[in-house]
Amino acid sequence: MIQIQNFNFWYPGRGEATLREVNLTVKPGEMLLLTGPTGCGKSTLLKCLNGIIPHLSGGRSMGLVLVAGMDTRSQTMAQLSARVGLVQQCPDDQIFSTIIQDEVVFGPENLCLPRQEIEKRLEWALAAVDLSGFQRRSTTALSGGQKQRLAIASMLALRPHILALDEPISQLDPQGAVEVLEIVKKLQQNYGVTVVMVEHRIHEVAQYVERVAVMDEGRLVFDAPVRQAMAQAELFAGMGLRLPETVEISRRFHQVGMTVGETVTLLKQERRKHGSSAISGARTHLPFFPKIRYPVDGLAAVEARDLYHRYGKKEEYTLNGVSLRVKRGERVAVMGRNGAGKSTLLSHLAGLKAPQQGDVRIAGISFGGKLPLGMVGMVMQNPDLMLFQTSVRREIEFGLHNLRLPPAVIKERYKRVVENFSLDRLQDDSPLALSRGQRLRVAIAAVVAMAPLIVFLDEPTTGQDKRNMDGMMAALREQVDTLVFGTHDVEIALAHATRLLVLDQGRLAADGAPRELLADRELMNRCGLRPTPSWLVGQELGLDNVFTPQELEARWIC
């Protein structure tokens, strides 16, 4: 279905090739995961499939890209769009119609298809993504997962043989991600659609795909069936990519467990092989798992009382009577499905939004809508919106100068954050010209340099690979006294939070220790969260309080 032969591509004005000697074949009906570290060229390769490269991008290419036997260079965009549907990362940026029907029929209308055919395709595409009956619904009223399904439907209406998905779940909560992945799998299995998916979140996607191709620095460095690929853990770890927990657990036995069920079976087999005494011995010798503890001095860093907020008078309340108290030294994770109110809550706590009702106190002081300069730091979901200086140096020094600190203090703080965030070599570069991970580091460094009492992070790990995530969280834990971060990532919450807040439709559904709340299946389901695979495996094996592969390993294996 797809043949890429010795393909090289240079973006306009760039000396170095973004794609180098890429060779890849995808069979009809296959589901391929294309992965690799941030900036390795995988999204660029995806754009070659539907002719965006070279028809729209400009630049220079060498080699061949054949789709259904035809050279993409000799095909028009319209011809290619009927063969390859490209779904991009952010559903909000690619959906432009006000109602679902208009979004789906946009392509068929452009192709001037007969009215009956357009209607037929509309119904089929919506049924294929489980959105039947939603024709007249507003696109803004959909959840994140539904929006991405709509983006897929709008491509399906062109009846493509190939779906090219560019990080389709990176912006979604865990349940939204599962919705999308299951729909894509259904399309592949029931309709024979060939799927090429670019994604960092291998741990969530691997069980759905048949083959994995890995890119690094523009080259295809690995290509194998998924089980074979998952056995190469070092390759993925070296690139900062996260493998499924079930794979990490089963690696110990030189096997690959793709699902919870497979892993449980494998562990039970191992138990039979090694005998139960070894297992029970492991249990008795490793009864306790160190929890991350931080000095908590009891003073409130931030306190909210009866917060209410809605974005319009006709809208539902985004915050519906939220009260909480974050003590100094705490690391608080805020979780919940897309639209649960996480970002709104963080904006209120940071003093960016004045409460419509209720009160927020930072270090015991109510600022009433005024910003407490230097007391709080905020890292937004999109770090690009925080970078407005011409160099990394100016970006970091900007806040320090505004605090009117003595030059010696500015120099010392600047030096410290540049070292801690590994920005030494980028000091004179323009922040917006850096890679995604580097931009995030600069944004965080600029905030941390001001030494705020408390830092808020709004889903900072979105779109970041594991290496970036771990580096960032480690630096923050090192340098920030009190941290409140919104996230969809259960593993990140478990690894870095001392306390977990779960929001559901603007209400505080739960507040407690992460390990306690993340073991509450009913709460997790209700609030759009998914337990870790290790926890699921642990439950099947009758082990409580197991959340990570390391813990499972310690409890189950000697």
Residues 143-202 that bind another protein (CB under 8 A): 151, 154-155, 158
Compare residues 432 and 474 and give the one whose CB is closer to another protein. Answer: 432
91 or 533: CB nearest another protein: 91
Contact at 8 Å (CB) between 79 and 32?
A: no
Phi-psi region of 254 (alpha: psi -120 to 50; beta: other; left: phi over 0): left
Binding string to another protein for residues 368 to 387, with x set by CB under 8 A, is what? Answer: ---x-xx-xxx-x-x-xxxx
Smallest gap from Cβ 314 to another protein, in A, equals 8
Residues touching another protein, count (CB under 8 A): 75
Query: What x-and-dash track marks residues 29-68 binding another protein by CB under 8 A?
Result: ------------------x--x-x--xx------------
Q: Which contiguous run of DSSP H or E holds residue 273?
A: helix 260-274
Torsion of CA 135, 137, 141, 142, to 10 degrees: -20
Contact status: 500 vs another protein (CB under 8 A): no
Q: Is there binding between residue 316 and another protein (CB under 8 A)? A: no
Residue 226, interface with another protein (CB under 8 A)?
no
CB atoms inside a 10 Å sphere around CB 13 = 7
* Closest separation in Å from C-beta 355 to another protein: 11
Task: Respond yes or no on whether the N-terminal peptide bond of residue 54 is cis (omega within 30° of 0).
Answer: yes
- Computed on alpha carbons and rounded to an integer, the radius of gyration of the chain in Å comes to 25
Residue in this structure with the two tokens 């904006």, named with its chain if needed:
347
Q: How far, CA to CA in Å, does 133 sit from each of 36, 96, 118, 128, 412?
A: 38, 20, 16, 12, 61
CA gap 40, 22 in Å, rounded: 12
**Interface stretch with another protein, choices 13-21, 275-283, 319-327, 346-354 (CB under 8 A):** 346-354
Residue 118 lies near another protein (rule: CB under 8 A):
yes
Interface with another protein (CB under 8 A), residue from 5, 62, 73, 77: 77
Contacts of 229 (CB under 8 A, 6+ apart): 211, 212, 214, 222
167 SS3 class: coil
Stretch that binds another protein, among 74-82, 123-131, 407-415, 468-476 (CB under 8 A): 74-82
**Binding residues for another protein restricted to 436-465, rule: CB under 8 A:** 446-447, 450
Rounded CA-CA distance 353/358 in Å is 12
271's tokens? 């138990």
CB of 387 to another protein, least distance (A): 6
Applying CB under 8 A, the span of 14-22, 93-101, 300-308, 484-492 interacting with another protein comes to: 93-101
Long-range contact list for 216-219, CB < 8 A, 24+ apart?
216/36, 216/37, 216/40, 217/20, 217/40, 217/41, 218/16, 218/17, 218/18, 218/19, 218/20, 218/22, 218/40, 218/41, 219/20, 219/21, 219/22
**Site membership for another protein, residue 131 (CB under 8 A):** no
Beta-bridge partner residues of 64:
5
Interface positions, 386-425, toward another protein (CB under 8 A): 386-389, 398-399, 401-403
Spatial contact of 340 and 528, defined as CB atoms under 8 Å apart:
yes
Given the rule CB under 8 A, which of 60-68, 107-115, 325-333, 463-471 is the region that contacts another protein? 107-115
Shortest separation between residue 84's beta carbon and another protein, angstroms: 8
Q: How far apart are the first and last CA of the chain?
A: 48
Greatest CA span in the chain, whole angstroms? Answer: 74
| Residue (164 or 249) nearer to another protein, CB | 164
Nearer to another protein, 56 or 299 (CB): 56
For another protein, the closer of residues 26 and 49 by Cβ is 49
Shortest distance (Å) from residue 541 CB to another protein? 45
Residue 399 C-beta: closest distance to another protein, Å: 4
Name the segment binding another protein (CB under 8 A); options: 22-30, 103-111, 290-298, 474-482.
Answer: 103-111
Q: Does 311 bind another protein (CB under 8 A)?
A: yes
